[in-house]
A and B are shown apart, each in its own frame.
Chain A
Amino acid sequence: DQQVKQNSPSLSVQEGRISILNCDYTNSMFDYFLWYKKYPAEGPTFLISISSIKDKNEDGRFTVFLNKSAKHLSLHIVPSQPGDSAVYFCAAVLQGGSEKLVFGKGTKLTVNP
């Protein structure tokens, strides 16, 4: 039962353009969401997060948008850089629960020079 879904396995964009990575979830009890970035042979590294009481959070080139009614969040990277090429995982945390993360399957982003 995939509670967090990333329906695009891969995405390719040109350097300087916007990258938009999407994530859908099914459990309305999720109340905190995170994006992680993962390079090959390394562990995931935390990128940005958003609480369910917000609809937007921004950190430099990275912005996460949350649409609770649609159970959808997205990560925008502007401008995209070749070093952003990695697998991006969306993760969610249950309300009132531990920090246990439920991950999507990931989207592989390739930024072409």
Chain B
Amino acid sequence: NAGVMQNPRHLVRRRGQEARLRCSPMKGHSHVYWYRQLPEEGLKFMVYLQKENIIDESGMPKERFSAEFPKEGPSILRIQQVVRGDSAAYFCASSPGTTYSPLHFGNGTRLTVT
């Protein structure tokens, strides 16, 4: 499967714990985007990364959230000290970076905070 791979598919955390979401982009794609979908809402942009660089994090909450895309390995979205309001579906997308190339999405990680 050469698509965008996200894991885990489902993640349950208690309030105050940390959540780590992983994303491996499509082969040949060097641009990664993270989106969050709350119930009954559209997808909201969080952060755009290229290898070892954060390009645009304008959609990231200022506290507790961080993202990285290291030289080797998957992109990681990290949420510290989770709260119930963090419960959502988190989608990763990748692209080759050519102008107006459509983003390809993974199947998401559904985070539930209890």
Instruction: Give residues in A with beta carbon < 8 Å to B.
Output: 4, 6, 32, 34, 36, 41-46, 49, 51, 89, 93, 98-106
Chain A residues with CB under 8 Å of B91's CB are 43-44
Q: How far is the CB of A18 from chain B (nearest CB, A)?
A: 24
Chain B residues with CB under 8 Å of A103's CB are 35, 42-44
The secondary-structure label for the interface of chain A is: strand
> Are A45 and B55 in contact, with the CB atoms below 8 A?
no
> Are B45 and A101 in contact, with the CB atoms below 8 A?
yes
In Å, the complex CA distance between A102 and B42 comes to: 9
> Closest B-chain residue to A87, C-beta based?
B42
Contact of A43 among B56, B101, B108 (CB under 8 A): B108
Q: How far is the CB of B32 from chain A (nearest CB, A)?
A: 11
> Are B104 and A46 in contact, with the CB atoms below 8 A?
yes
> Are B4 and A43 in contact, with the CB atoms below 8 A?
yes
> Closest B-chain residue to A51, C-beta based?
B100
The 3 A-B residue pairs with the shortest CB-CB distance in the complex, in nearest-first order:
A43-B105, A103-B42, A46-B102
Instruction: Give residues in B with beta carbon < 8 Å to A.
Output: 4, 6, 31, 33, 35, 40-45, 48, 55-56, 91, 93, 95, 97, 100-108
Q: How far is the CB of A51 from chain B (nearest CB, A)?
A: 7
In Å, the complex CA distance between A101 and B100 comes to: 10
> Are A89 and B102 in contact, with the CB atoms below 8 A?
no
In Å, the complex CA distance between A40 and B105 comes to: 14
Chain B residues with CB under 8 Å of A93's CB are 100
> Are A99 and B33 in contact, with the CB atoms below 8 A?
yes
Contact of A100 among B42, B45, B106, B108 (CB under 8 A): B45
Q: How far is the CB of B43 from chain A (nearest CB, A)?
A: 5
Q: How far is the CB of A43 from chain B (nearest CB, A)?
A: 3
> Are B42 and A89 in contact, with the CB atoms below 8 A?
yes
> Are A102 and B45 in contact, with the CB atoms below 8 A?
yes
Q: How far is the CB of B101 from chain A (nearest CB, A)?
A: 7
> Are A99 and B107 in contact, with the CB atoms below 8 A?
no
Q: Could you pull out 27 A-B pairs where Cβ atoms are within 8 angstroms? A: A6-B42, A32-B100, A34-B102, A36-B105, A42-B107, A43-B6, A43-B91, A43-B107, A44-B43, A46-B102, A46-B104, A49-B102, A98-B48, A98-B56, A99-B33, A99-B100, A99-B101, A99-B103, A100-B33, A100-B48, A100-B56, A101-B45, A101-B103, A102-B45, A103-B43, A104-B42, A106-B42
